Every structure is written in structure tokens, then in C-alpha cells.
Amino acid sequence: MTLRKGSKVWVEDKDLAWIEAEVIDFTGKHAKVLTSSGKKVLALPDKLQPCDGEAELGGVDDMTKLTYLNEPGVLDNLRRRYALNEIYTYTGSILIAVNPFTKLPHLYNMYMMEQYKGAPFGELSPHVFAVADASYRAMMSERCSQSILVSGESGAGKTETTKLIMQYLTYVGGRAASDDRTVEQQVLESNPLLEAFGNARTVRNDNSSRFGKFVEIQFDSNGRISGAAIRTYLLERSRVVQITDPERNYHIFYQLCASGMDAEAYKLGHPSNFHYLNQSKTYELDGVSNAEEYVKTRRAMDIVGISDDEQEAIFRTLAGILHLGNLEFSPGKEHDSSVIKDDKSNFHLQMAANLFRCDVNLLLATLTTRSIQTREGIIVKALDSSAAVSGRDALAKTVYAKLFDWLVEKINRSVGQDHDSKIQIGVLDIYGFECFKLNSFEQFCINFANEKLQQHFNEHVFKMEQEEYQREQINWSYIEFIDNQDVLDLIEKKPIGIIGLLDEACMFPKSTHETFSNKLFQNFRSHQRLEKAKFSETDFTIAHYAGKVNYQTEKFLDKNRDYIVVEHCNLLASSECPFVAGLFPPLPEESSRSSYKFSSVASRFKQQLQSLMETLSSTEPHYVRCVKPNSLNRPHRFENASIIHQLRCGGVLEAIRISLAGYPTRKTYHEFVDRFGIISLDIMDASYDDKTMTEKILQRLKLGNYQLGKNKVFLRAGQIGILDSRRAEVLDSAARRIQGRLRTFVARRDFVRRRVAAISLQASCRGYLARDIFTVMRDTAAAIVIQKYTRCWFLRHSYMQLRLASVLVQSCIRGFSTRRIFLYIKKDRAATLIQAHWRMFKVRSIYRNRQHNIIAIQCLWRQKLAKRELRKLKKEANETGALRLAKTKLEKQLEDLTWRLHLEKKIRVSNDEAKSVEVSKLQKSVESLKLELDAAKLATLNEFNKNMVLERQLELSTKDKSASEREVISLTELRNENAVLKSSLKALEVKNSMLECELAQSKEDSSSTIAKLREVEKNCLQFQLNLRSMEEKLKNLENENLIMRQKTLNVSPKSNRAGLVKPFLDPKFSGALVLSSADEKSYESPTPSKFIASLSKGLSDSRRTKSGMEKNQGNLEILSRCIKENLGFKDGKPIAACVIYKCLLHWHAFESERTAVFDFIIENINDVLKEGDEDASLPYWLSNTSALLCLLQRNMRSNGFLTAGSQRSAGSTGMNGRLVQGPKPSFKYLGVEEGLSHKESKYPALLFKQQLTACVEKIFGLIRDNLKKEISSLLGQCIQAPKLQRVHGGKSSRSPVGVPQQSPSSEWDSIIKFLDSLMSRLRGNHVPSFFIRKLTTQVFSFINIQLFNSLLLRRECCTFSNGEYVKSGLAELEKWIVNATEEFAGTSWHELNYIRQAVGFLVIHQKRKKSLEEIRQDLCPKLTVRQIYRISTMYWDDKYGTQSVSNEVVSQMREIVNKDSQNLSSTNSFLLDDDLSIPFSTEDVYMAIPAIEPSDIEPPKFLSEYPSAQLLLQNPN
């Protein structure tokens, strides 16, 4: 790599793996670089990797498009895409999927599946659906089975990716047989069960799969799913009996121990009580409850179909394994014998025998002895303690492995296999490469499997490279690719591979891991892939494709030995439990001869792996590499070191190395010329094609060993760096020239500015001096004037001081004498007033005493008179009644007297109080007068003193002249402060005016708000009126249904129509005509009335058979000819509809209780639609059926069936069962005249109206679907056109003498022609403008959806040039809409809002200056933030090189998108959905279609041939 100052490079970093840097200097052999974090680092040039400084913000969707295909470039590209929630990236045909750890439902909905269905691989954005679709299409086209290999560590999303693959295959392949659950669901429902029995905690992952799973989805010859099978490989059996801290055994054991009642039944407790579980101190997982997981496992067993008895047997077997592990042995009495160690072991032995349902003594014998069959007989050999423990562990591993195989077989039976299937797609989910601090036999086997898979992967990548080279027709025979066959030979080659040596060591009882290691080093001493560990004599290191792994051999031999003991198999085969006995079928005779049958775990692992590789080799592989971005399982965290390790283990970097061995850099000629054409501008100016220019540029640079293909140029590793270096030199030279010209311009500009500034400065100085002289002269004149006025002021001031002093003395003397006279008068008046008050008090007190005495005397006298009168009355009152009356009178008089007495007492008391108050007041006034007299005396003394002071001040006034001058100065200061206060006052007045303006504005806003509120109130009132009208319409519908039910009930029970009417009276069919069989399946577009033909046929058949033939067969022939022959139009009115309506009126069909004529009409219309040319028949019958429906509605409204008081506005509901409201048109508008006579409509007529409504909707839906199919291909050409122009016609934009670019209007012209032909067809058949308007609107809505979705899904469409291209097409469409007028086009232009705003956003140049609010409010108000975010991240300018929006706007949008993703109620899809509903109601049809008068239509000539139609010809009315 050629380095120079300013080169962008990648430098290794401990924390970030790689960090971007720039070369700033060279020191000896080292390069000094400045990293993006601001650090300066010295590094060898060989340790640096080239970096593309012009990389796009959003990265590239295919790693092969990277300018520099290296490890840091791949990592940086994944990081850029992950930051934008682009979790999928291609590396050729390999898909890399980064787990987002958040929900992205918009990527996996049904519409997204539809987009990827059948799309060429690589045309749309990377997606797991694209891989699944490519495998399915390859399977169907080549009739060859496919396989999809999903790899990655736990938590990387393998299971979710597998689920998505099966979900897509289920969508695209359907299901051959009807089933309640899909294959995907059935397979996924088995996941909890397989995870419980096959997953365990490892050092790195809490839920690591310890087996490989191959899901085989089987298809029939038609490409439909016919079955599925799950095949498992390479179960880690040794984990059952041996684990290391902090790992765990299989999850099912811990779940069983936490199962509560079941654990108690099996005598289980905490996992620490069992040897197979307590070898590690980790019993619980963070955030996982073993009890809850146990419930989930039981539920999964129920779903799979495992019965309760089988479940009980499974858990009994697992409990037996745990108890079996607690058996301990001690040496026996005989030599090399063993016995049960203690009572605890004896208890566990008894429990194991009970759980396995076998004889306890026989179980003990099989564990402590072995039987050897010889020619002489059977010899029983005792086993020592270590051998008994080995036998115990062998039995536990065998039982667990058999149990796991039974579970897999049970799941396969539940899912359902198709053994006759010839083609299938397999999905492999297997554990990835492992490298821990301590690596044992399990890691050796797993890494061996990954080496085999990596070899298969390398072969596939090599094959893809070969296919690419062959496709481009380049010479590639001499290219050598990296291979890992030497590692595989080291491990598995016979007889001296590592596995062979390990098996050989296991066959000798006295072999140890030391002898195995020594033999290994002796045989492979010089092997480049095998090394001896530095600090251990027995450990060895293998250089795998993903890195070096150090293996500890201490337990290699123990874990590799897997004896199949015949006694064990016979013991469990004889178990009383049918489940346990079924796990161990009888062994063949040759196996029963020896008690031991040695089985190597590594050899069996190798065989299973070979079987898997054979399966994969027979299929066409596809690869998905899942990556876990961080260890915390949190979104938006990207750990570089962890991802680099996963890319190495997943073989992605190995694939890059393979690509580097060939031609890693490949660019289309257009891209090459676009990037490197500036190296040789003279070649660009010549009239060469892109390939010739590419060759000449490479020849001029004298680059060799490159290849020119058909469409691409292939460069060897490092050549792109030379090209970039040369390009940088050219750019530097151009930059220096630009800098030189710019510096010249700047220097000249500065000189001119300085000269102008000097002249200006001289003029300013001269002006300053002149102004200074003038100022001196002006100041001298002003000083003289000031002196004159100052002297005048001083003299006047002294005079005024003397005058004021004399006036002040005179005023003080006069004031003193006046105040003394005033005080004398005041005292005289006060004394007079006191005397008057005292005399008044004395007279008043005398009067009150006299009055009081008089009143007292009067009271005593009256009392005396009253007593005298009382005695008289007592004497006279002899009778009781008189006495009582007298008594009451006297009591009343007594009460009055006592009341008066109390009143007089109160008055007397109040008078006394008033007198005392007055006396106190007078005393206080006397005291106050005394005080005032004293104060007056003091005041006279003060006045005298003041006069003395004033006389002294007068004498000192001449001395205070200097003080007065100071006061003058302070006065001037006060004036200055006054001026400042005035200025602040003005400022406050300005603020006040501003506040008043704001107040006026707020008043205007409030008035506008009030106006809006009034409008809202009006709208609310309108809505209430609409609601009431809808309620009235609903009542009308209920009345109509009630009438229909009454009509039905009036029919006799023996009527043949009873069974036919019943479905229509069912509530779920009220207002909708849906009578198709539930078993039928339709794959057509979901337009209404798809089943009307079959329904009508069934109705007509039943009616013909049950009601008999019609009396006049000629009537049906007339109708048949009217329907099958094209009668045309007269004055824009359909003749067939008018004739059919007149016939029905003439035959009184609307009054009939039972008739088959309506079914006959519907059936014949459907037959014509099926048999005829759709382009001609559909518009013709849309016009006729809508006119007939309008006439029929007019008949029903006029005959009183619908009352005028409750007019029905939405009488018919379509096939989709919706109720549409609308104002009822007047009778005059519908053409109802008083002269027409009508009869009451019966039930068949009402049913006919519903059938006819459904028929109109069906025809409209068929026309719409046909239009969408026709325009889809045209839109596809428009979508592909920019891509083709960039490939073939892009040179003209850079070379002035090149061939001019092809006009982009050719594809849009085809769409305009299509729209013109559509309009001519519809108007030629006199389709009402209402239907034309609806069809045009839906077509333009479909155009908007297709163009907008392609913009979001195809990166080549999200460009500046494509925006200009689409904008020109939209201008053509706008012209067409304007020419079509609003009558026929309607709101079609508004239907293009989404694509218009998106294109407008693409073609603006200053995107980085736009804020998010400006984009949302001004540029793209209709688009959601998710859609704007998608466009911003996918945008690239292929014309001017402008950039997308700023990083701040991208981060703001990302936060909003993440919040929306967490909101489950909101939709997260950025794509637009196609609306398949019918955009009108029956009432809309009545309102829109003009009135038709059937009497104005002349009957066709063929009616004269029928006698029954003669009266119709004579009396058309």
C-alpha cells in the first residue's frame, strides 16, 4: 500500500479493534498518524489498512462494493448500517444479519414479503427474505434441493432468523393440505422442548445449543409445502456426566429440580445435592426462572403431542439419571472388586432402580461386574471402583442420548414428514466456533465441525467467485485460493490423525493423556498447524481458520470413551416401564458376545458430521451469518472487538481472504470511469466507450494483472490503492492550482483594499485637522459670550439674594404678630364654648331629674289604681269564666306594666351613662385646652428664637456666596439626571407601545381562535345531524329487513323457497351477500362479489327445480339476447339496461312473490363477463348494471316501499358489509314522474337489488385489478430505467462530446398512452364520469404506492438523478390530469402527494442546511418520520455529489423512530399499503348517475320476433 501525507488509513486499537486515522508524517520506517479521537500514534506501514475517505454515510449494501475490501472496512460498513437500523448486509451471496435487540415489525410484514417475492437477488435492499426467496426460486427452477446455513453465537438471532426464513417459505410455498397450524408454527413450537434438552450454559452464553439442528422443509412438485423434518447432529453427550465451573448441565435437569410436586415425587431437591449438577456452582441463570421454564417445557410437550404417561416416563427417566450420578463405589473384599460405598449411595441406587422400573440387584450387578462370553462359557469379571464409576457414567450418557433421539423422532411425527418429497429446503442451525480460556474435548469437536463447515463455505465462496469470473469471461485459471484441508487432515486423517490417535489411546486401559500428547507431538512435530503449548507438556494448540485455540488434554480420553455395555442395554430393555424399554431395542447377536462394545465419541461425531456434510453437499447452499452486536443485549450498542471475533468465527473474514486471493476489487466500467476518469482527462474527452476508457486509463498507469470482463473491471489486491493514490495526486495538483489562483486573487484584493484605505485615511486626517482649528476658533468666541453672561448672572444673583433675605425677615415679623392675635381669638372662643356646654349640661341634668321623678310618681299612682281595680274585679267575678277572663286581662296588663317599667329603667340607665360620657368628654377637652395653651407659649418662644436665627443668617448671607455657586453646579447635575430620566421615559414609552401591539395581536389571535371554535361547533352540529340521519337510515334498514322477514314468514312451510331464504335472514348475512362455502379457497384479489356467479347459479338451479318452469319461455330468451348481444347506447344511455327494466316492469316481476327471472339475469351477466373480452365487456356492463341499479332504486323509492318520512340513504350494503351514509336525492333528480305507475316491491326484487349492487362492485373491482396488472409492468420499466441509464448512458453527463443521454420520457409516454387508452375505452362505453373518476383516482393512488415503495426499497432509486427522472414523469402525469379535466380525473393529482414530496426532497441541493422541522412541515408534511429517515439514510447523489441531511437531523429522527418502535399501538411500517376496498357506496351511485328515462329508448328490432314483446313495443310506457 502506497502511503502519503493526508492518506486515510485504519490503525489497530485495543478498545475499538480498528480506528480511523490520517497520515501526518513519516519517521524512519514508521508512519505518524492522527486518529479520529485526537491521538498521535506511530505504526509500521504494514500494520495499516487503507481507508476510503469518501465512504457513504449509510455504507454499502454489499461488501463487494467496498473500495477497500479489508477487515476494518467491513467492520466500519456494518457499524454505519447498524446505526441506521439497516441490520442486513450482503457479502456477495452471503447475508450478514446483526441482531438489533429491538422490534422492527416494518421489515417483516406481509407487504414486505410481497415485495421480495420473485425479485432478483440483490435488486432490493438486503433482507433474509431475499435469501429465502433465492433458495425457493432456485429449487423450483433447477429442481434441486437447497440449504440455508444459519450460524452465529447464542443471542445473535439464529432462532429468529430461522423463524423468518420458515415464515417466508410458508408464505411463498403455501400448504398442500389444510392444517390448523403452519409448518413454521409446528417447528417453532418444538423449540422450547429442544432447548430444554439440548441447550446449556457455557462460559460465554447462557443458552448455548449443544447440538446441531437441521430443519428440512419438504415441497411437492407444485412448490407447495408438503411436510417437514427436524434432524439433529452432534449432541454433546459428555456434558450429562461432566461439566466445569461456571458452566451448567442441560437445562431440563435444573427445571426438573425446581418443579415442586414432581421433584418431591422423584425424591429430588436442590441441584447442589446431585453429582452431575454440583460439579459447577452455577445453578441459576440471571432473569430465568427454572420453575417457569419447566411449565413452558410441559406446555411444549403437550403441543407436540406427548401424552401425560409419556411425559411422566420422561421425567422419571431424567430423575433416574440424577440419582444414578450420586452412586459412589468403594473397593470390595475381593481383588479389583467394588461395592456400594454407604447408605446414601444405597438410597440413590434404590431410587434409580425404582425410577427405571428394573431390579435393583440386577442394576447393581451390571454396574459392578461384566460378563465375558467365551467358547467355554460366560465369565463374570468384577470391576474396581473407577471402572464402576465409568460404567455408571456410560449408562447415564446412553440413556440421555436415547431419550433425546426419541424426542426428536416424536417431534418429527408431530410435524409430519413427506417421504415422497423430491425437493426440499433445509435450514441448518448449529453452534459456532468456540475459543475459551480453558478448551477441552467438547471445544475440539465443535471447532472440528466448524472447520468442516468452513471448508464447505470456502468451496461455495470459491464457486461463487468462479461463477462471477465465468460470467464476466475473464481468465482465472491461475488464481490460488486459501484452503483449510491441512487442518482437516490433521484432525481426521487415518490412521494418524488426532482422532485416530485419540481412539488408539482410548483402546488401551493404561493410556493417559500424557502418553496421548507425547504420541501426538511425535507424529506432528513439523506440522505448521499444530503447536505445543508454552507452559504445559500435554496441551497442544491448533491454528484454526478463526485463530489459534489451546486445548487441555487432561480429560480428552475420559470424554472420548463411550462404551456400550450389553448388560446395561439388556437391563433397561427388560424394564417394566414400556417407555424405558422402548428406548433400548434388542441388540444383534454379534453385539451380545462381548460385554463391552467400545464406541469413540470423536469417531461417531466424525460420522455424523460426514453425514451432515453429505446432506449439505447434495444441496445448493445459502449462508446467513448472524452477529451479536454487544454482550449486554441492548439496542444501538456496537462492540467492535466482539463483532470482529464473530466475523472471524463465522468465516466472513475468511471469505474476504478468499476474495483477496483473486480479484477483490470489481467495479462496473461506469463506476470506474466515474471515480478515476479525472486521472486522464484527455481520454475522457475522446469518444470512447466506458470499457475502452477503463483499459486506456489502466494502461497509462502501467498496471498489470488486471482483468476486463463484459461489464466489470477486476483488480488485484492493492491496485485500487495505487489508483486512489494517483487520483489523490491529481486532486492535490488541481487543489494546488486552485490555491495558487486563489492566493493571487486574495493578495490583489488585499492590495486594492489597502490602497483605498490609505486614501480614505489621508482624507480623514486632513478633515480632522481642519475641524480641530475650527473648533478652537469656535470655542474662543463661545468663551467670551459665556464670560459676559456669567458676570451678568453673578450680579443678578447677589441682588436677588439680598432682596429675598429682606422679604423673608419682613414676612417672619408679620407672621409672628398675626399668629399672636390669632391665638388670643382662639382662646376666647374656646372659653365661650366651654361655658355654653357647662350651662347646657346643668339645665339638662335638672330637667332629667324632674322627668324621672314625675314618671316614678305616675307609675306608683297607676299601680295603686290598678290594685284597687283588681280588688273590685275579684269581688265582682263570682263565675269561673269571668274570673278567668279577668285574670288573663290583668295578666296582660301586668305584663305591659312590667315591660314599661323595665323600659323606663333602661332609659334611665342609658341617660345616666350618656351624662357620664359627656362629663368625661368635657374634662378631656379642658385638659386639651390647657395643653394647647402651653404649646402656644412654647411656640411664641420658638418664633422668637427663629427670628434671632434669621437675623444671624442675614448677617452670614454674604459668606454663603460660594455655597450658592455649588448649588448652581448641583442644579446642572440635576438637569442632566432629568435628561437621562426623560430618555428612559421615552424607552419605557416605546416598550409600552410594543406591549400594546402584542396585546392587539393577542386579541386578534384570540378572535381567530374564537372563530375557529365557532367553526368547530358548527362542524360538531353538522356531525350530530349526520349521526341522526345515520340513525334514521339504520332504522330504515331494520324496517326493510323486518319487511323481508315478514315476507318470508308469509310463505307456506311447504314452499320450495324456505331453505333458500334462510341464509339471507341470518343476522351475519344481513346487508351483505356472502354465501360461498367455507371450504372453498380463493386466491384472487379481494374485490367484492367474487362468488356471486356461483351463488346465482345455485339460487337459479334451486328455484328452477322447486318452483317449476316459467310460463313464458320467450321472456327468458328476450333477456338472454339483451344480455349476450351488444345493443350499444343511444344518447349516452345504455339500451340493454333500459330494455331489461321495461321488460321487468311489463311482466310485473317486481310484484312477484316467487320468480327466477332475476337469478337468470345475474347468471347470464356473469357468464358474459367470464366468456367475453374483459377490455370490452367490463366497461360495457359497468355502464349497464349501474344504470339498471339506478332504475331499480327509482322504482323502489317511488312505490312507497321506502317512505318519504324516513328516506333511506344507504339502502344497500356491498359485499364487504359496510354501511355508507349520504343525503337522499330528490325524486325529480332521479327522473321520477307522476305519470308512472309502480307496484309494491316484493322480496325477490329486494334480493335482486342486492345482487345487482354486488355485481356492480364486482365489475368495478375487476376493472381496477386489470388496470393495476397492466400498469405494474409499465411502472416496473420506469423503476428500472434510471438503473439502465446509469449503466449504459451515464457517460454523457461527464464528457462534452459524448453521446447525448436518452430522453427519460419514453417510459412515461407508455404510461400516458395507457391512460389515454383507458379513458377512451371507458368513455367509448359511456361509463358514468363518477366511475371514471374513481378508477382514475385509484390508478394514480397505485402509481403513488408503487413508485414510493420502490424509492424506499431500492437504493438505486433513492438518488438525485432518479428524483429528476421521476419528477419529469410526474410533470407528464400532471399535464394528462389537467387535460382530462376534474370531471374525469378528480383528485388524482392529490393521490401522488407521497411520491411528489419524496421526489421534491431528493432533488433539493441544500439538504444539510434543512432542520427536521423544516423537512416535516415544509418539504414533506405527508411523510412520516420513519419514511423521511429511510429516504435520508438511503439517499446518494450520483450526479452532483451532494450530501444527505446532517447528522443532527439523522440522530433526531433515529430517536423518534426508536420511540415509535417501542409503541406497540403505532404502525411501524414505512411502506404504503394498497387500498383494495370499493371507494363508493350504492347511495353515491344514485347521487352521481344522471336520471335515465327508459321510455325515450327505442326498443331493439329483434323484439318484433317475439309475440310476448308486441305489447311492449306498442306501449313502451
Residues annotated as catalytic (active site), given as ranges: 154-155, 159, 205, 208-209, 432, 434
Are the C-beta atoms of 372 and 212 separated by less than 8 Å? no
- 1480 sits in the region (left: phi over 0; alpha: psi -120 to 50; else beta) called beta
Pick from 1117, 1115, 1141, 1306: which is nearest to 1238 by CA?
1141
Pick from 737, 679, 722: which is nearest to 4 by CA?
722
| 75, three cell numbers | 467492520
| 474, three cell numbers | 475473464
Prior bond of 1067 cis (ω within 30°): no
CB atoms within 10 A of CB 1434: 23
With vertex at residue 352, the alpha carbon angle to CA 346 and CA 355, rounded to the nearest 5 degrees, is: 140
| 666, three cell numbers | 470489481
Q: What one-character DSSP code corresponds to residue 272?
A: G
SS3 label, residue 1476: coil
* 620-627 and 146-151 beta bridge pairing: parallel
Prior bond of 1244 cis (ω within 30°): no
Angle between helices 385-415 and 290-304 (to 10 degrees): 50
Q: What is the CA radius of gyration of the chain?
A: 54
Length of the chain: 1517
**Residue 1151 to residue 1232: CA distance in whole angstroms:** 19
Residue 63: φ, ψ to 5°? -60, -30
The kind and range of the H/E element at 98 are strand 94-98
The kind and range of the H/E element at 1129 are strand 1129-1130
Burial letters 1412-1421, b for 16+ CB under 10 A, else e: beebbeebbe
How would you write 1249-1283 as a 3-class SS string?
HHHHHHHHHHHHHHHHHHHHHHHHHHHHHHHHHHH
Are the C-beta atoms of 1240 and 1201 separated by less than 8 Å? yes
Pick from 430, 404, 426: which is nearest to 229 by CA?
426
* 620-627 and 94-98 beta bridge pairing: parallel
Pick from 1164, 1125, 1122: which is nearest to 1140 by CA?
1122
Residue 874: φ, ψ to 5°? -65, -35
Give the distance, in angstroms, between the CA of residue 258 and the centroid of all CA atoms in the same chain: 38
For 909-937, give the DSSP string. HHHHHHHHHHHHHHHHHHHHHHHHHHHHH
How would you write 611-644 as a 3-class SS string?
HHHHHHHCCEEEEEEEECCCCCCCCCCCCHHHHH
Give how far Cα 568 sits from Cα of 339, 362, 401, 506, 662, Å: 18, 10, 14, 21, 57
Pick from 276, 274, 217, 203: which is nearest to 242 by CA?
276
Close Cβ partners of 336 (under 8 Å, ≥ 6 residues apart): 382, 383, 384
Q: Which amino acid belongs to residue 627?
A: V
